[in-house]
Amino acid sequence: MHYQIASGVFWVGALDQDRRLFDSLIPLPDGTSYNAYLVKGSHKTALIDTVDPSKTEILINNLEDIPHIDYVISHHAEQDHSGSLPVIMDRYPECQLLCSEKAREMLLDLLDIPAGRIRVVADGESLSLGNKTLHFIYTPWVHWPETMVTFLEEEGILFSCDFFGSHLATTDIMQDGNHSVLEAAKRYFAEIMMPFRHIIQKNLQKLASLNIRLIAPSHGPVHVNPRGILDAYAGWSSGNVKNLVIIPFVTMHESTRMLVDWLTEELVSRNIPVEQFNLTVSDPGRLAMALLDAATVIIGTPTMLAGPHPLAAYAAVVANALRPPTRFIGIIGSYGWGGKTVETLRALLSNMRAEFFDPILVQGKPKAGHRDEISRLAELIRKKHISAGLI
Ligand SMILES: Cc1cc2nc3c(=O)[nH]c(=O)nc-3n(C[C@H](O)[C@H](O)[C@H](O)COP(=O)(O)O)c2cc1C
C-alpha cells in the first residue's frame, strides 16, 4: 500500500492488525502499524525508517516501483523500525544509511549491516534532496538514547519516530486528532514515554521553533492537526495530576476486596473519583494511563507466601519503572498470620517520589472497626488532595 501524505512524500509502511502484544508486555487492543516514509526530492530519494522484520515483504512490495534509493534514515535502532534495514541495504546497494552517532553503534550491535555504509549525521545537520531539505534533530530517550527525528522543511513535516506515536492499525492514515487517536496516543505515552517525561519536555522545547504542518510518527496515523498532539504531550509530560484515586488490587478470598470497596465508597462520598483495577483481569495499558492522571495510588493485596500477592508485586514493579507523577501511595490488604508485605512493596516502589500513608492490613476478614480506619484514610486523602490544590 502506498499513500501520498504530501507532494513527493509517501507512507510506505505496514499495518499489523493482528498483533496483540508488544515487547512481550504491552497489550495492543487495536494492533499497530510500522510506518516507513519515502521522500522523493528532485535529485535524491530517501526512505525514512523501515518496518518490523515480520513485515519486510510488505515494505518491499510498497517499494516495488522504486528502482533507486539514495539514503535510508534510521531514527531508532529498535527492530520494529530498523529490522528491515539489512534487506533494504541489500536491495539498494547504492544507498547510504544515515543515523545518529549512538544509533550507529546500536545498529551494528543489533543487525548485520556493513559499517562502511553507515554515515553518522550530526544534531542539526541538513541534507538536500534537491527541492526538499531534511533536518536531523537528536531527540534522545523518545524512545531510546539514540533516537532522532527528521524535519522536512519545505512541506513542514516532522517525521517523529516513536515521539507522538500510537499503537493503532488503521488505513485512515491522515487523522485530525479525533478522540480515538488521542486516546491511543495517550496509552502509548503512558506505556512507553512516561519514564522520560522530563526529557520529553526538553525535546518538545527543541521542536518549538519549527513550523510543523504534519507529524508523521512511526506508529499509528499521521497527525494533520499537530497542535492537538503537541498540546497533549505538553500536558502528559507536565507531571500534573488530578483529584483521582486508583486502586490496583488483587484478592483471593474477598477480604481485600471488602477493604477496596469500602475505601471506594468513602472516597466517592467525598467527591473523589476512584478507578479500581482488579489485577487478575484488568488491562495494564489502562492502568498505565490512569497512573499518568491519578494523584493517589492505593495498592490492595493479600499476603501470600510472606509477601504481597505476585500480581500486586508485578504492578508495583511496573509502576516503579514507569515513574508516574503519583503524589500519595497507600497499601491496604488482608493477611492470615504475618509476613513482609508492606516492606516488600515499599522496596519495589523505591523510585516513587510520593508520600506513603500508613498501611492498613487486617487479619482475615475485615471487621466493623476496620471500616473506621478506611474512613480515616479516605479523609486523609481528601485533605491531601485539598492541600495539593486538586480539590
Ligand atoms: C497460597 C496462600 C499463601 C498464603 N501465605 C500467607 C503468608 O505467607 N502470610 C500470611 O499472613 N497469610 C498468608 N496467606 C493467607 C492470606 O493472606 C489470608 O487468607 C488473607 O485473608 C487473604 O486475603 P484475600 O481474601 O483478600 O485473598 C496465604 C494464603 C494463600 C491462599
Query: Where do the domains of the chain lie, and which CATH numbers do they carry?
Result: 3-236 (3.60.15.10), 246-385 (3.40.50.360)
The neighbour count for residue 305, using CB atoms within 10 Å, is: 8
**Would you state the pLDDT for residue 176?**
85
**Would you state the pLDDT for residue 78?**
94
Q: Which pLDDT band, with edges at 50, 70 and 90, does 345 fall under?
A: very high
Positive or negative, the CA dihedral 339, 341, 342, 348 is positive
166 in ligand 1 pocket by Cβ < 6 Å? no
Contact 291, 279 (CB under 8 A): no
**Would you state the pLDDT for residue 175?**
87
307 in ligand 1 pocket by Cβ < 6 Å? no
Half-sphere exposure of residue 335: CA atoms within 13 angstroms, side-chain side: 18
**Would you state the pLDDT for residue 216?**
98
280 in ligand 1 pocket by Cβ < 6 Å? no
**Would you state the pLDDT for residue 143?**
85
Alpha carbon 216 to its chain centroid, in Å, reads 16
pLDDT, one tens digit per residue, over 316-343 is 999 999 999 999 999 999 999 999 999 9
Q: Which pLDDT band, with edges at 50, 70 and 90, does 55 fall under?
A: very high
Closest approach atom of ligand 1 to CA 255: 25
pLDDT, one tens digit per residue, over 16-40 is 999 888 887 888 888 999 999 999 9
Question: Does an H or E element contain 334, and which?
Answer: strand 328-335
Alpha carbon 167 to its chain centroid, in Å, reads 9
Q: Cα(334) to centroid of ligand 1, in Å?
A: 7
278 in ligand 1 pocket by Cβ < 6 Å? no
How much is the pTM?
0.94
Q: Whose CA is nearest to atom 21 of ligand 1?
A: 364
- The reply to whether ipTM tops 0.90 is yes
324 in ligand 1 pocket by Cβ < 6 Å? no
